[in-house]
Chains A and B, each alone.
Chain A
Amino acid sequence: MKSLKIAVCLKSVPDPKQWHKVTINPQTKTIQKEGIPRIISPLDRHALEAAVRLKEAHGGSVIVVCMGSPGARENIQEALALGADEAVFLSDRAFGGADSLATARALAAALKKLGLPGLIFCGAVSYYGSTGQVGPQIAQFLGINHFSAVRFLDYKGGKLYAEIVTDGGFALCEGKLPLLVTVRREINKPRGLRLSEAIKARKKKIWTWSSADLGLSSDQLGLKGSGIQMFDFLPLPEAQGAEILEGGPQEIAKEIAQKIKKYRQGGIL
């Protein structure tokens, strides 16, 4: 059997624990996140863990693909310490300002250049953009199938079996490789950083590719290649009013349940 080649798409994001420090420049409408430590987007860490566990169980290799600003390099290093074998870092000003479409296009081009890995893992959503679009779009660019929002998977006899979370429950699916999988947090508990692995990771290779390496023109990438242009940010409207319920705990709980039911029926919740 051919050795399993697995890729993981990673995003480096400002640490969600410090999002209170994020500010928006009112003139340029850009998000100011300087000085905030960067982490691997939490669901991407679950994606990496799923990939590394498959490699540990079935052999093969795990390569990380990450597009980001120079600060993302330390998160790539971290991914190597968490079990990835090598990494591709898409680092070029031309990638800047990309929406989900331009991001997926660049990542897909990199994955194609790698010879299309049999399995590609992504987090179901990033903790920054939260669109959930990048994974499926990569699959579309590559012309392969994808399972989105996977909470459990098993790999047997060259096939992947997955539980996909749907609106009403979950679906059991099986698929042949090549396949792209986006994962939810329930899929696993990511391992912690081990010092010995962090040291070994320093010797692992990080390939840095620019837009020229991907064979894509500047109007396919970054802001220019994006389908969506952000022109404004608006604060969330403040909550309107409040209702104070009175009575004992049981009465209040009953009343809340009735209200939730009513709002649900009215399509408010």
Chain B
Amino acid sequence: MDFKFSEDQEMLRKAAREFASDVLAPRAEEIEANDELPRELIEEMAARDFLAVTIPEAYGGLGLGHTARLIIIEEIARVSAAAAMMLQVFGLGIEPIVVFGTEEQKQRYLPPLATGEKLATIAVTEATGGSDPSGIETVAQKDGSDFTLNGRKVFITNAKVSDIVVVLAKMADDEKTFNTFIAEKTMEGCRPGRTEKKMGLRGSDTGEIIFNNCRIPQENLLGEPGAGLKVALSAIGDVGRAGMTGVALGLLQASLEAAVKFANQRVLGGRPISKLQSVQFKIAEMYADLEASRLLGYRAAAMKDRGERCDVEFAIAKYFSCEAAVRVAKHACDIHGAYGYMEEYPVQRYLRDALISIPSAGTSDIMKVIMGKTALKKFAD
């Protein structure tokens, strides 16, 4: 068992860290204040090939796999969880096309996504809830050889900035049949709705996507007819959980770094508070949470890259790292005392950002359902 990253992976981390520290970090507070990720930052990420990571080489991507994607999301989330979230959900939008797309769909959609000329998202969740996709109300009506879509998707990341939307709908004539389609914002009847005002993750474009008699041609049906749930959920599954683990890892690292810096600088009773065992114990717990999360996340990503089944491993990684991100950001705020509540220190942002990692791409409770079922079977006599 080798726990070392390859030289190539170290170089990818370096490239991502360079972007994060030199380009993104000086604008992190601006993103927070304006609640917007400037388009030029997305373009810069595209110019550095961050959008091409999991797209196969044959379609203009780099085909670097999921460990590489996790490294990049982690490094970007360390500076801006909102920017990392853009990348995370972009990955969810492209994965169903990569896995289930026809050759024609891949040729048509993937190259402009690899260069960042176009942006993608996935639209599954509705007001009925995200944990039960079969409960959605968006319907697709067969219309000659085409489909007409009607419905309203909510909490969609990249709702406004995306050009291509992979969308799940149930069939109007058969509520138990689901299909996934590739919609484009240029199609009549496909538009963003309201933008959400969030407690955290400011700068991440979260909102509705509305389908109002949106006509989708037959050739934009993704995957086999009736396989919609499988197509959409497979993207949210491994890739979504991997991405949220990456966001959590970045927040864990940022929280720990901020806490150590403050603990070494803040003097109480004539010595830095880092000399207090109560603070050291918090730092120790944060460190253990970071390392455990990292091991879980990269193990699952390595399995994914080897083509092994890793849904449970990603469920464990996602559950543990996102819960840990909240714990660790809370510790970081506590170490900062009242300063931890003030906007001039970033730890309050880390805590607000960490909280959304829990419901995103499968809540902790849903992860526990997966883990629990697996454990009950695996460890039975």
Residues in chain A within 8 A of chain B (CB atoms): 17, 74, 77-78, 81, 192-196, 198-199, 201-202
Residue contacts A-B, CB under 8 angstroms, 24 given:
A74-B10, A74-B11, A74-B14, A81-B11, A81-B15, A192-B15, A192-B19, A192-B47, A193-B11, A193-B18, A193-B19, A193-B48, A194-B49, A195-B15, A195-B48, A195-B49, A195-B52, A195-B68, A196-B52, A198-B8, A198-B11, A198-B15, A199-B64, A201-B11
Partner of A198, one of B12, B19, B22: B12
Question: B44's closest neighbor in chain A, by CB?
Answer: A192
Question: A195's closest neighbor in chain B, by CB?
Answer: B49
Q: Tell yes or no: B21 within 8 A of A by CB.
A: yes
* Bound complex: CA A194 to CA B44 (Å): 10
A196 cross-chain contacts in B, Cβ below 8 A: 49, 52, 62
What are the 5 closest A-B residue pairs judged by CB atoms, nearest first? A193-B15, A195-B49, A198-B11, A196-B49, A194-B48
Number of B positions contacting A (CB below 8 A): 22
A192 touching B22, Cβ below 8 Å: yes
Encoded as 1 (CB less than 8 Å from any A CB) or 0, chain B from 54 to 97 comes to: 00000000101000100000000000000000000000000000
Encoded as 1 (CB less than 8 Å from any A CB) or 0, chain B from 7 to 49 comes to: 1101110110011011100000000000000000000100111
A192 cross-chain contacts in B, Cβ below 8 A: 15, 18-19, 22-23, 44, 47-48
Partner of B50, one of A77, A78, A195, A201: A195
B8 touching A199, Cβ below 8 Å: yes
* Bound complex: CA A192 to CA B22 (Å): 9
B contact face: mostly helix, strand, loop, or mixed: helix
Q: Tell yes or no: B53 within 8 A of A by CB.
A: yes
* Bound complex: CA A262 to CA B244 (Å): 60
Q: Told that A194-B48, A198-B12, A199-B64 touch, could you supply 6 new A-B pairs with CB distance under 8 A?
A: A81-B11, A192-B15, A192-B18, A193-B11, A195-B52, A199-B62
B47 cross-chain contacts in A, Cβ below 8 A: 192, 194
B49 cross-chain contacts in A, Cβ below 8 A: 194-196
Contact status of A193 and B14, CB under 8 A, knowing A17-B21, A199-B8, A199-B62:
yes
Expressed in whole angstroms, the minimum distance between the Cβ of B21 and any Cβ of chain A is 7
B19 cross-chain contacts in A, Cβ below 8 A: 192-193
Question: A201's closest neighbor in chain B, by CB?
Answer: B11
B53 cross-chain contacts in A, Cβ below 8 A: 195
Encoded as 1 (CB less than 8 Å from any A CB) or 0, chain B from 317 to 351 comes to: 00000000000000000000000000000000000
B62 cross-chain contacts in A, Cβ below 8 A: 195-196, 199
* Bound complex: CA A186 to CA B377 (Å): 65
Question: B50's closest neighbor in chain A, by CB?
Answer: A195
Expressed in whole angstroms, the minimum distance between the Cβ of B180 and any Cβ of chain A is 29
Question: B61's closest neighbor in chain A, by CB?
Answer: A196
A198 cross-chain contacts in B, Cβ below 8 A: 8, 11-12, 15
Among B208-259, those with CB < 8 Å from A are none
B21 cross-chain contacts in A, Cβ below 8 A: 17
Expressed in whole angstroms, the minimum distance between the Cβ of B48 and any Cβ of chain A is 5
B15 cross-chain contacts in A, Cβ below 8 A: 81, 192-195, 198
Contact status of A78 and B11, CB under 8 A, knowing A17-B21, A195-B50:
yes
Expressed in whole angstroms, the minimum distance between the Cβ of A21 and any Cβ of chain B is 12
Contact status of A202 and B8, CB under 8 A, knowing A192-B23, A193-B14:
yes
Expressed in whole angstroms, the minimum distance between the Cβ of B240 and any Cβ of chain A is 22
A201 cross-chain contacts in B, Cβ below 8 A: 11
Question: A198's closest neighbor in chain B, by CB?
Answer: B11
A81 cross-chain contacts in B, Cβ below 8 A: 11, 15
Most buried by B among A195, A196, A198, A199: A195
* Bound complex: CA A144 to CA B334 (Å): 62
B48 cross-chain contacts in A, Cβ below 8 A: 192-195
Expressed in whole angstroms, the minimum distance between the Cβ of B291 and any Cβ of chain A is 17
Expressed in whole angstroms, the minimum distance between the Cβ of B308 and any Cβ of chain A is 24
Encoded as 1 (CB less than 8 Å from any A CB) or 0, chain B from 299 to 320 comes to: 0000000000000000000000
Question: A190's closest neighbor in chain B, by CB?
Answer: B22
* Bound complex: CA A179 to CA B11 (Å): 33
A199 cross-chain contacts in B, Cβ below 8 A: 8, 62, 64
B50 cross-chain contacts in A, Cβ below 8 A: 195
Expressed in whole angstroms, the minimum distance between the Cβ of A39 and any Cβ of chain B is 9
B52 cross-chain contacts in A, Cβ below 8 A: 195-196
* Bound complex: CA A196 to CA B114 (Å): 11
B7 cross-chain contacts in A, Cβ below 8 A: 74, 77, 202
Expressed in whole angstroms, the minimum distance between the Cβ of A143 and any Cβ of chain B is 38
* Bound complex: CA A201 to CA B11 (Å): 10
* Bound complex: CA A235 to CA B53 (Å): 48
Expressed in whole angstroms, the minimum distance between the Cβ of B71 and any Cβ of chain A is 10
* Bound complex: CA A198 to CA B53 (Å): 13
Expressed in whole angstroms, the minimum distance between the Cβ of A91 and any Cβ of chain B is 17
A77 touching B23, Cβ below 8 Å: no
Expressed in whole angstroms, the minimum distance between the Cβ of B157 and any Cβ of chain A is 22
A195 touching B23, Cβ below 8 Å: no
A78 cross-chain contacts in B, Cβ below 8 A: 11, 14
* Bound complex: CA A17 to CA B22 (Å): 11
Question: B12's closest neighbor in chain A, by CB?
Answer: A195
B14 touching A195, Cβ below 8 Å: no
Most buried by A among B11, B19, B62: B11
B10 cross-chain contacts in A, Cβ below 8 A: 74
Expressed in whole angstroms, the minimum distance between the Cβ of B256 and any Cβ of chain A is 16
A195 touching B18, Cβ below 8 Å: no
Expressed in whole angstroms, the minimum distance between the Cβ of B32 and any Cβ of chain A is 22
* Bound complex: CA A183 to CA B48 (Å): 25
